[in-house]
Amino acid sequence: MTPVRLSSRGLVLPPQELNGPRRYGRVDGATLGCFFALSLTVIPARLIFKGLPLALTPAMLIGLIMGVLWFCAQMVDTLGVAKGRSAVRTSMFLFALSQVATYGYSTYSWLPNDELKATDRTFITMMAFVCVGIAVCDGVRGLARIDRVLKFLVSGATFMAIVGILQFVLAFDLTQYLMFPGLKLAGEISFVLDRAGFRRPAGTAEHPIEFGVVCAMAVPLALHYSFRAMDYGGKHWRWWFCTAILGVAATQSLSRSAILGLSLAGLILIPHLPKGRRWKAVVAVAGFVVALRFLVPGLVGTLIALFTNIGIDPSIDSRERGITRAGQEISEHLWLGRGLGTFLPTKYGYLDNQYLGTMVMAGMVGLAALIFLFLAAGYAAMRARITSDDPKVRDLGVTLAASLSVPAVSAATFDLLAFSVATGFAFLLMGASGALLRAVREEKSMRGVLVLP
């Protein structure tokens, strides 16, 4: 006899399905999540499918497939996909509805051809990543499967970081050898830029800022699995390697957004560490900065200058022009915005602020939906920590909250949703937070199971 429980949330799985290995070797939401994580980080972000009218990346295609499979799985009760209410899933539905409303409003009237193409591309991108978040939230069942997805995410980010470090140190761009059959490069772009005499790597991302933010998002997760491996006698050295590589790559991006994200993640994560590890973490951060200063002379000073000299940054003029134009657009399209992706930087100036950009392109409705996304995911992660008495779950909850704080704060300093890798990372982490809270609630429910023949 197998213990199961039926509730308003659907079929609740037995404990061994929640925390132990899977009983069957079939493909599930975690498998698709792993493929998505690797396609997001291993394949250069500027590679798109040949012969299609829209710029569709492999990661976007996998996201759309995940959405179709999630919808089909909701029609039956035999595939183990979770059902019922979830704060994360609700926030994603509301975000998707806001995007549909804005897209319909903007395309109802005339748009210039370049802006129409941009809004089509942005809408499909957003829908693909929303599908990823929902599919992970409902389709990844149990701590073991959540761990599997997040470990693939860290591994993929580490690969991206290694590519970036090679670009920074040796000016060797590995992305030129990552041209997969059936794909083509969308436009001419260099994955290595320059700032203050240093090469700014982008890894396999579109831009050094995005590269730095993605690495910063992965650092708390890599640190979490380093400590977990130490506690349970696993091979912790490989996770410490990932942590070090990701930390170095985030700083080498020479990005304010990455540094702010790392700082906030540390402020969230370090106070929740056990007392002994808390002080070790502080000492390790100080040692990392000192080592970086000696290994790469001038890098730490350049990072500090990014903040102390912000008033004389040449990019400020472009941002000021963009902000002036943004104010006019907001007054004309207050509630639903002027259209997704239509505020083209080459035409109207750079904003480097996703919250302001969302107000311009998706209005107050879109901005509220975006903020609710971050709040719901953070709530789910911290609620899982508070509700569970399992130390592994508690640690993972605060780790996900720390990782999610990186895109939440960096969205105020760069156009987060304009970059597919950072956006895909954020939605995957949001879905994982929802999946973790579901697993905790189901484990609690199992303490009063019904035994059916």
Position 41 pLDDT exceeds 90: yes
- The number of CA neighbours under 13 Å toward the Cβ of 297 is 0
Q: Identify the sign of the CA torsion 218, 223, 228, 230.
A: positive
Position 389 pLDDT exceeds 50: yes
DSSP letters spanning 313-341: -THHHHHHHHHHHHHHHHHHSTTT-S-TT
- Alpha-carbon distance of 140 to 68, in angstroms, equals 16
Contacts for 272-275 with beta carbons within 8 Å, 24 or more apart? 272/398
Query: If we measure between CA atoms, which residue out of 121, 107, 152, 7 comes closest to residue 446?
Result: 7
Position 384 pLDDT exceeds 70: yes
CB of 232 closer than 8 Å to CB of 273: no
Position 432 pLDDT exceeds 90: yes
Position 9 pLDDT exceeds 50: no
Query: If we measure between CA atoms, which residue out of 207, 379, 398, 331 comes closest to residue 371?
Result: 379
Amino acid 190: pLDDT: 61
Query: If we measure between CA atoms, which residue out of 306, 304, 422 comes closest to residue 354?
Result: 422
Q: Identify the sign of the CA torsion 272, 273, 278, 281.
A: negative
The whole-chain average pLDDT of the chain stands at: 88
- Alpha-carbon distance of 242 to 152, in angstroms, equals 12
Beta bridge partners, 48, equal: 184
pLDDT tens digits, one per residue of 329-381: 999 999 999 999 999 988 888 888 999 999 999 999 999 999 999 999 999 99
Amino acid 282: pLDDT: 86
Mean pLDDT of 301-312: 77
Mean pLDDT of 157-177: 94
pLDDT tens digits, one per residue of 257-280: 999 999 999 999 999 988 888 888
Amino acid 13: pLDDT: 44
Amino acid 17: pLDDT: 44
Instruction: Give the residue with greater pLDDT, 189 vs 420.
Output: 420
Buried b (16+ CB within 10 A) or exposed e, 369-382: bbbbbbebbbbbbb
pLDDT tens digits, one per residue of 82-126: 988 899 999 999 999 999 999 999 999 899 999 999 999 999 999
Residue 13 DSSP code: P
Altogether, the residues listed in the chain come to a count of 453
Highest mean pLDDT among 21-25, 94-98, 170-174, 224-228: 94-98
Amino acid 191: pLDDT: 61
CB of 66 closer than 8 Å to CB of 135: yes
CA distances from 212 to 187, 201, 240, 332, 416 (A): 22, 9, 19, 35, 12
Amino acid 1: pLDDT: 37
Mean pLDDT of 293-318: 76
Largest interatomic CA distance in the chain: 73
Q: Is the pTM of this model over 0.85?
A: yes
- Alpha-carbon distance of 335 to 366, in angstroms, equals 8
Position 284 pLDDT exceeds 50: yes
Amino acid 64: pLDDT: 97
Q: Is 7 exposed, middle or buried (0-12, 13-18, 19+ CB in 10 A)?
A: exposed
Query: If we measure between CA atoms, which residue out of 387, 379, 377 comes closest to residue 441?
Result: 387
Position 3 pLDDT exceeds 90: no
DSSP letters spanning 219-268: HHHHHHHHHHHHHTTS-HHHHHHHHHHHHHHHHHTT-HHHHHHHHHHHHH
Amino acid 320: pLDDT: 72
pLDDT tens digits, one per residue of 130-162: 999 999 999 999 999 999 999 999 999 999 999
Position 43 pLDDT exceeds 60: yes
- Alpha-carbon distance of 387 to 356, in angstroms, equals 35
Amino acid 22: pLDDT: 46
- Alpha-carbon distance of 198 to 251, in angstroms, equals 12
> Lowest mean pLDDT: which of 35-49, 211-225, 344-358, 409-423?
344-358
Position 20 pLDDT exceeds 70: no
Q: Per the structure block, which two tokens stand in for 108?
A: 């109802």
- Alpha-carbon distance of 399 to 381, in angstroms, equals 8
| % of the chain beyond a pLDDT of 70 | 89
The strand ranges marked E within 192-253 are: 192-195, 198-201
CA distances from 194 to 165, 198, 201 (A): 14, 6, 8
Mean pLDDT of 283-306: 84
Amino acid 193: pLDDT: 65
Q: Which helix (H) or strand (E) holds 275?
A: helix 275-295
Mean pLDDT of 384-407: 96
Amino acid 274: pLDDT: 86
Instruction: Give the residue with greater pLDDT, 209 vs 195.
Output: 209
> Lowest mean pLDDT: which of 20-34, 164-178, 291-305?
20-34
- Alpha-carbon distance of 100 to 88, in angstroms, equals 18
3-state secondary structure at position 452: strand
Q: Per the structure block, which two tokens stand in for 425?
A: 């990372």
- Alpha-carbon distance of 275 to 210, in angstroms, equals 33
Amino acid 231: pLDDT: 79
